A and B are shown apart, each in its own frame.
Chain A
Amino acid sequence: MTVDLDKYAKPGKSYYIALGLEGSANKLGVGIIKHKLGQLSDSNRAEVLANIRDTYVSPPGEGFLPRDTARHHRNWVVRLIKKALSVAGVKGTDLDCICFTQGPGMGAPLQSVVIAARTLSQLWNLPLVGVNHCVGHIEMGREITRSENPVVLYVSGGNTQVIAYSKQRYRIFGETLDIAVGNCLDRFARTLRIPNDPAPGYNIEQMAKKGKHYVPLPYTVKGMDLSMSGILANIESLAADMFSSKGGKKAVDEETGELITPEDLCFSLQETLFSMLVEITERALAHVQSNQVLIVGGVGSNERLQEMMGLMVRDRKNGSVYSTDERFCIDNGIMIAHAGLLGYRMGQITPLDNTVCTQRFRTDEVFVEWRDD
């Protein structure tokens, strides 16, 4: 039996349109998606009508503060919504629902964006749908790549999880015990004062391509989980020695005796962190007897991670790695619109007094009613 996704379709209408608002971290995203009636399939794909994003960028050496990030979202949200509606060629009254990120994420930015969602809902008399940010990533990744039942590696600035679907929940198989992989990379970028534009992780990736020497770092896989704060502390102390004006002990490559460069450190950090991610993903594949990996989240746009995952999967029978480009990988509004619309089609709507955002909202709390495989 398949799930009936059209119990709540408006009479006489052959499609749904939803607007999604994302603002759980430093990206503000507005997306508009269209689903035709019936199951989503290779011949009935979700249609992206608009996917607009604006990123709050902080100066080199600085992270993004909740207060300024929230201010960015507040001051841009109306302009972005207007632009998205104009790109999509739809009016507010054409929409079926307003979807918003309810969590997890940073409190102040989440709260700024939900106010926009509530206002639109009352202005146009439309229902609200609160969306789990992680489920947004998973559903959009599945839709774009058409991967059926993959093990999902969700890697971003705030989250690191290995997830597999079972019985209408996205279950977490392994996760970080402390900081997220993107946070580890971003903070190291701050130590090296690498610019935050377009993204610190992207700039580390470019530097890592020029690295020649591998510096051994702690390798901290704990069963199915990972720990990355110790690796960060270790590499930060190496970087501090490198830039020390006191002429302290500078790291050299053990084989060649050449001085270790910032590029070498970026390379070594990436190789270590990504090996750990590949290891726990491989173990999850074995557990659930799957051969598909879907990488989502901002760090998922890193081509070296995709390559390393590809090497692992190649050794598995019929194995495949799915990933999306930065439009869908990095936080965006369209994934919130898509996941929210799936929930809406099953009758999941969020009453106004339940729209309070939450910084902690685990992936496995969501009832994935729209799947029954």
Chain B
Amino acid sequence: MTQDLVPTAHYESPSEPKGYDFIPGDGPHSTIGETTKISDIVINAGGQDRDTPSEAKDTALGQLRARLTTIQDKINIFLTNKMKEEKSSKELKDLEKKMLDEGVDEGSSDNE
């Protein structure tokens, strides 16, 4: 019996030294990833997707491809959420700074 090839990934940053680990999990796994599909823009413009990946073969390497796609999805979702969080926290900070620097906007524009 051949040993299953299981990829793993690890993320850490200065603010999160403990980091996060990613494993593919039990599956089922496939080479069609949730986050690696064609852009909606192309489909909405009447385009067709003729570039889908080939299906995973039932071999050790084929299964590795499928597991890699799962792990890639997990990383993509994790990083996208991180970017969203950073963006919203930056927006909050910007708002706070604006209020402290300029005072609360009372909505009046006819000061002159």
Residues of A within 8 A of B7 (CB): none
Dominant secondary structure at the B interface = loop
Within 8 A of A (CB), among B26-61: 36, 38-39, 41-42, 45-47, 51-54
B residues within 8 A CB of A62? 41-42, 45, 47
Contact between B36 and A59 (Cβ–Cβ < 8 Å)? Answer: no
A56 at the interface (CB under 8 A from B): yes
Q: What residues of chain A lie closer than 8 Å to B53, measured between beta carbons?
A: 74-75
Query: A254 an interface residue at 8 Å Cβ cutoff?
Result: no
Q: Interface-forming stretch among A63-71, A101-109, A179-187, A258-266?
A: A63-71
Give CA–CA (A206, B41) in the complex, Å. Answer: 28
Q: Which of A27-80 contact B (CB under 8 A)?
A: 56, 58-62, 65, 67-68, 71-72, 74-76, 79
Taking a contact as CB atoms under 8 Å apart, the answer to whether A68 and B42 are in contact is yes
Residues of A within 8 A of B51 (CB): 56, 68, 71-72, 75-76
Complex Cα–Cα for A76 and B51 (A): 7
Summed over the interface, the residue pairs from A and B with CB atoms below 8 Å come to a total of: 34
Over the window 89-103 of chain A, the binary record of Cβ atoms lying under 8 Å from chain B Cβ atoms (1 yes, 0 no) is 000000000000000
> Could you tell me the distance between the alpha carbons of A59 and B52 in the complex, rounded to whole angstroms?
17
CB pair A59–B46 under 8 Å, yes or no, is: yes
Known contacts A56-B51, A75-B52, A75-B53; is-contact A61 B38 (Cβ 8 Å): no
The reply to whether B38 and A68 form a contact with Cβ atoms under 8 Å apart is: yes
Interface residues on B, range: 10 to 19
Bound Cα distance from A71 to B42, whole angstroms: 13
Q: Is the CB of B41 within 8 A of A65?
A: yes
A:236-271 near B, CB below 8 Å: none
Q: Whose C-beta in chain B lies nearest to the C-beta of A54?
A: B51
In angstroms, Cα B41 to Cα A65, docked, is 9
Chain A residues with CB below 8 A from B54, complex form: 75, 79
Contacts A75-B53, A76-B51, A79-B54 given; indicate if A59 touches B39 (C-beta within 8 A). no
A58 touches B36 (CB 8 A): no
Interface centre among A58, A71, A74 (most CB of B within 10 A): A71
- Report the minimum CB–CB distance from B47 to chain A (whole Å): 4
Q: Which of B39, B41, B45, B51 gathers most chain A CB within 10 Å?
A: B51
Q: Is the CB of B38 within 8 A of A58?
A: no
A60 to B45, CA, bound (A): 8
Is the beta-carbon distance between B45 and A71 smaller than 8 angstroms? no
Query: Given the interface contacts A59-B42, A62-B41, A62-B42, does A71 sit within 8 Å of B47 by beta carbon?
Result: no
| Bound CA–CA A62/B47 (angstroms) | 9
* A61:B39 contact, CB within 8 angstroms: no
Known contacts A60-B46, A68-B39; 16 further A-B pairs (Cβ under 8 A): A58-B45, A59-B45, A59-B47, A61-B45, A62-B41, A62-B42, A62-B45, A62-B47, A65-B39, A65-B41, A67-B39, A68-B38, A68-B51, A71-B51, A72-B51, A75-B51
**25 A-B contacts (beta carbon < 8 Å):** A58-B42, A58-B45, A58-B47, A59-B42, A59-B45, A59-B46, A59-B47, A60-B45, A60-B46, A61-B45, A62-B42, A62-B45, A62-B47, A65-B42, A68-B39, A68-B42, A71-B36, A71-B38, A71-B51, A74-B53, A75-B51, A75-B52, A75-B53, A76-B51, A79-B54
Q: Which A residues are closer than 8 A to B by beta carbons?
A: 56, 58-62, 65, 67-68, 71-72, 74-76, 79
